[in-house]
Amino acid sequence: MKSLGVNWFIEGAIDFEYKKYVLLDYLQEINRHFDKSRLYPNLTDLIFHYNNLLSFKKDKSVLQQAFPQRLTQADIEAVKLTYQKMVQDDTTMHEIERIIAYALCKMDPALQTGREIYDFVESRLAIDPVGVVPLTPFYGYFNLRNGKETTNWIYEYQITIFESQDDKYRGINISLVDTYEQSLANTLESIKQKLIKKRKHLPNPAMYYVHSDITFPLEQTLLPVAKRSLVKYISNAA
């Protein structure tokens, strides 16, 4: 996918028409993916840039800190230095503010589309526990089925807790374990027992059946939404 640099709106020539072209080219690519229900990494990237612009607008010397995987200290220092040079130039700052206002306005409908797709995908997902759920269901397996496709995807998961400056969040780490074809012989319970027998490091795992009634792009849409939905489901049940 086409991408924007972290500081795209203040790097290079500060020219509204040029930045407008760069932005619209990027959003065209984002919307092309959304039209095919491909959410990730497009939605994550769009949210990052939107929040980045809001942060710069609010405090032009500091970038948004909520996405540490995308920012380095060098990025932050570069913005501070750039801002210090620009702050004395009213014309340049006016042009930057114009670029930011335009970009936020244009990104907002794309964000809304992405959220609507996410909500729709989530609404088509069902999550069911397989067998007895242990008292600590924060690790185990989930069986993912994509619409009417016969292939089932088995993932091992582990829910993690990490802290930000203001709150605690739960995330999830997953790894693909196996795939199998849906059949009368391969019941969910039998698959769970095979996993326990074969993978001794999880003697009493939780297992969930996560399935959609509509087929979506697996890696770019269904799996990311399924992961987040499973975290929510387990957190609410725990």
pLDDT band at 170 (very low <50, low <70, confident <90, very high): confident
pLDDT of residue 40: 95
Closest CA to 78 of 62, 102, 92: 62
The helices-and-strands tally (H runs, E runs) of the chain is 6, 5
- Check whether 121 has a pLDDT greater than 70: yes
The pLDDT tens digits of the residues spanning 189-220 come to: 999 999 999 999 999 999 999 999 999 999 99
d(CA 126, CA 226): 9
Q: Is the peptide bond before 41 cis (omega within 30 degrees of 0)?
A: yes
Rounded to two decimals, what is the model's pTM?
Answer: 0.82
- Check whether 67 has a pLDDT greater than 70: no
* Bridge partners (DSSP) listed for residue 209: 128, 143
Closest CA to 188 of 123, 225, 140: 140
Mean pLDDT of 113-124: 97
- Check whether 83 has a pLDDT greater than 70: no
Share of the chain above pLDDT 90, in %: 66
Mean pLDDT of 94-107: 93
Higher pLDDT, 71 or 179: 179
pLDDT of residue 74: 65
d(CA 164, CA 50): 20
- Check whether 61 has a pLDDT greater than 50: no
pLDDT of residue 166: 53
